[in-house]
Structure 1
Amino acid sequence: MQRLFNDCIYRIKALGPEDSTKLFLSRAFGSTNGSCPMELEDAMKKVLKKCGGLPLAIVSIGSLLASYNSPESKHMWERVFKSIGSEMESHPTLEGMRQIVIISYDHLPHHLKACMMYLSIFPEDYVIVKERLLMRWIAEGLVAEKRGLTSMEVAEAYFNELVSRSMIDRAADIVNYYDGREETCRVHDMMLEVMVAKSLEANFISLIGGQYEVMPYDRVRRLSIHGGVEASKQSSFKKTAAGRGRRKNINAMNVEHVRSLSVFELEGHKLLNQLGEFTLLRVLDLEDCKVIGKKHMAHVCRMYLLRFLNLRGTTITVLPRELGDLEHLQALDVRLTFLEGLPETVTALENLECLQYSNKKDYISDGPSKTA
């Protein structure tokens, strides 16, 4: 199978029957040495035939069927088999792969579907810091309350369930001496592509920048600004044209209902001049934005519904006393900034559960890392 995109060809090598079976058994039954119940063997062979030896297809379907691995679950296996497009059997294609990813998504419980769609906020190929993701889920109200468990424990359970279903992939931990060890994760490109499509269809996420230049903005709820990497490869004329297009899109938006704003790759700094219009924000994520100043923070301190504020890696040198007015704030990340300290009013933030602070001048940089 191959895909032609931006003059590059990507080829996916198919597995042989033996390796396909081992991979499937490891996902569906937890062991490559395990055996499939006799009642499910025929269904397993049919499923593997339709997967065409493609690893992602096998992993996705195997992880889905792991919850139905008893002999009594034959009807579910047959149902999944019938839902896989016939084109996967004879001509494994990207469209067939996309269909399998959609099947895996469609079988998720409702609360996990929302958590998966939320991942479309992050740019392609980003390494996502797990704690940052979970805190955002909580701030967005995507994590249900459960008796005897904290919100973080419930979010952790959601995350682990998505990993076990192979919807999210664990990535190597980031280790540095100033923040310690941070768990990270990734989302497969095909998975992210499907999540973006689902999110846009449901008006769950709105995207600007990078490959997302023209989007409907009738009622924006969660806004994510991408860019930077793509723009750097363009000519000066194209950069200017793209910048004007983004400014036009942003200026034309009605941000009255935006509850989440994320800015990546520094391409969203034009939007920061409009921060005062985002009065209903619950989540504000400006990590690594180098243009944050006092006027921006004055707007932030009037976002009285704010629950999650990420200013990590920004150039801020002081936090206003008015920060203490954000009574709903649950998480504040000001690591690797130029703050000399925190205002005393931080102690008034009764709902603050996670406070992370460090001064960039105290550390020697380990070099740039692309994380989310």
Structure 2
Amino acid sequence: MEISSLCWMKNCSSTNSGNFSRTRGYLIVIDDIWDEELWIVIKCAFSSSNNFGSRLITTTRIVSVSESCCSSTNDSIYTMEPLSDDDSERLFYKRIFSQESGCPPEFKEVSGAILKKCGGVPLAIITIASLLASGQQVKPKNEWHVLLESIGRGLTKNRSAKEMIRILSFSYYDLPSHLKTCLLYLGMFPEDSEIMKHQLIWMWIAESFVQCGKENTSLFEVGETYFNELLNKSLIQPVYDRFGSVHACRVHDSVLDLICSLSSEENFVTIVNGTNDTISTEGNVRRLSLQSEVCCYICTCY
């Protein structure tokens, strides 16, 4: 969850759970509500007749939704605090500079200005830091100033999901074309999916996204470097197996929002999930992802 996420508590009891809800206490968490109307539907399943200390906790990134969730005087809103200046610097510098001394003096002023615009949001900080740490080299100071001006006001005053996506878009547009395509392909998978590394790379290869590399280097090996580059850019999150090796990845909700937005604009993928379908009768469907709570079907159309 981002810094703008909010959490609420409410005495509740489910009207559909029979005697259990009336005789026992329980805790229910509903994560990442985006729509006030959706909350109106959800809350119909609960009542205030349970006296066993039951609680309903909801989270959202939208202030108006948090206010609609507080329907009684016993409800409260908890606003997540941003990272402190020290923690923000520590996270930012650790990602960019390898030396123990931290930030070199010549980068102090511009890095402080960039961090201020990140507003203490961890995802924004690590995304911008990954953008400035190009491979093993730190980008020159003049490029830091260009990025600073491009961010605008950033998250200093406006911590909306829209502004967060705009900041994330800097990392997308900084990618080479082949990595942009590979990243957009992740929109084919449902939110919170654990995407297996080998499966994903072979799907990239089947789509001809992976370009031929050096002699004696297989397409899979090249695809693996693409995967690792997206990891290093913090655009995907690693999932480790019991041996400590990365065997899969996940996509942060905000990054997935960016991917889906860009995919829709470019007609890269059509998503049908029963709630927010993007299918259109006017354009051709290039890739189709049928998503449900149970499974996901992916189809490429030619």
TM-score by length of 2: 0.70
| Residue in structure 1 matched with residue 5 of structure 2 by the alignment | 2
For CA contacts below 8 A with separation 6 or more, give which structure has more relative contact order. Answer: 2
Match for 2:158 among 69, 88, 91? 91
Find out whether 1:166 has 2:234 as its counterpart. Answer: yes
Find out whether 1:121 has 2:124 as its counterpart. Answer: no
What one-letter code is carried by the residue in structure 2 that aligns with 1:79?
V
| Residue in structure 2 matched with residue 211 of structure 1 by the alignment | 275
Which ranges of structure 1 fall in alignment gaps of 5 or more residues?
176-180, 230-263, 269-277, 283-372
Contact 1:85 1:96 in 2 (8 A): no
Alignment RMSD, CA only?
Answer: 2.6
Q: In the aligned structure 1, how far is the partner of 2:260 from the partner of 2:220?
A: 25
Give 1:182 deviation, angstroms: 7.7
Contact 2:172 2:180 in 1 (8 A): yes
Instruction: Please list the CA deviations of residues 46-102 of structure 1 after superposition, one character each: whole Å capped at 9, or x if unmatched.
Output: 000000110000000001101188687111101111111315123333222111111
Contact 2:287 2:301 in 1 (8 A): no
Q: How do residues 327-366 of structure 1 correspond to structure 2 at under 5 angstroms? A: none
Q: In the aligned structure 2, how far is the partner of 1:70 from the partner of 1:137?
A: 28
Contact 1:116 1:195 in 2 (8 A): yes
Secondary structure in structure 1 of the residue aligned to 2:191:
coil
Secondary structure in structure 1 of the residue aligned to 2:140:
helix
Secondary structure in structure 2 of the residue aligned to 1:223:
strand
* Cα 1:68/1:135, change in 2 over 3 Å: closer
* Cα 1:34/1:110, change in 2 over 3 Å: farther
* Cα 1:85/1:174, change in 2 over 3 Å: farther
Contact 2:238 2:246 in 1 (8 A): no
Contact 1:37 1:70 in 2 (8 A): no
Number of equivalenced pairs = 231
Q: How do residues 279-298 of structure 1 correspond to structure 2 at under 5 angstroms? A: none
| Residue in structure 1 matched with residue 68 of structure 2 by the alignment | none
Find out whether 1:227 has 2:261 as its counterpart. Answer: no
* Cα 1:70/1:168, change in 2 over 3 Å: closer
Q: Percent identity?
A: 36
Secondary structure in structure 2 of the residue aligned to 1:15:
coil
Find out whether 1:154 has 2:157 as its counterpart. Answer: no
Give 1:210 deviation, angstroms: 3.9
What one-letter code is carried by the residue in structure 2 that aligns with 1:115?
C
What one-letter code is carried by the residue in structure 2 that aligns with 1:157?
T
Q: In the aligned structure 1, how far is the partner of 2:138 from the partner of 2:289?
A: 45
| Residue in structure 2 matched with residue 298 of structure 1 by the alignment | none
Give 1:9 deviation, angstroms: 2.6
Which ranges of structure 2 fall in alignment gaps of 5 or more residues?
7-32, 40-57, 61-78
Contact 1:205 1:220 in 2 (8 A): yes
Contact 1:27 1:66 in 2 (8 A): yes
Contact 2:94 2:102 in 1 (8 A): no
Contact 1:105 1:113 in 2 (8 A): yes
TM-score by length of 1: 0.57
Q: Which 4+ residue blocks in structure 1 deviate beyond 6 angstroms?
A: 68-72
| Residue in structure 2 matched with residue 61 of structure 1 by the alignment | 128
Q: In the aligned structure 1, how far is the partner of 2:161 from the partner of 2:172?
A: 16
What one-letter code is carried by the residue in structure 1 that aligns with 2:59?
I
| Residue in structure 2 matched with residue 295 of structure 1 by the alignment | none
What one-letter code is carried by the residue in structure 1 that aligns with 2:88?
S
Contact 2:240 2:246 in 1 (8 A): no
Secondary structure in structure 1 of the residue aligned to 2:249:
strand
Q: In the aligned structure 2, how far is the partner of 1:40 from the partner of 1:170?
A: 29
